[in-house]
A and B are shown apart, each in its own frame.
Chain A
Amino acid sequence: AQSVTQLDSHVSVSEGTPVLLRCNYSSSYSPSLFWYVQHPNKGLQLLLKYTSAATLVKGINGFEAEFKKSETSFHLTKPSAHMSDAAEYFCVVKMSNYGGSQGNLIFGKGTKLSVKP
Chain B
Amino acid sequence: NAGVTQTPKFRVLKTGQSMTLLCAQDMNHEYMYWYRQDPGMGLRLIHYSVGEGTTAKGEVPDGYNVSRLKKQNFLLGLESAAPSQTSVYFCASSSQTGRYTEAFFGQGTRLTVV
Contact = CB atoms under 8 A, between A and B. Distances in A.
In the A-B complex, the 9 residue pairs with the smallest Cβ-Cβ separation, listed nearest first, are A103-B97, A107-B42, A44-B105, A107-B43, A43-B105, A43-B107, A109-B42, A32-B99, A51-B100
Contacts of B44: 107
B106 to A, nearest CB: 6
Interface in A1-32: 9, 32
Q: Interface size bucket, B side?
A: 20 to 34
B31 to A, nearest CB: 7
Contacts, number: 62
A107 B90 CA distance: 13
Nearest to A4: B42
Q: Interface size bucket, A side?
A: 20 to 34
Interface of B: 4, 31, 33, 35, 40-45, 48, 50, 56, 58, 90, 92, 94, 96-103, 105-108
Most buried by A among B4, B103, B106: B103
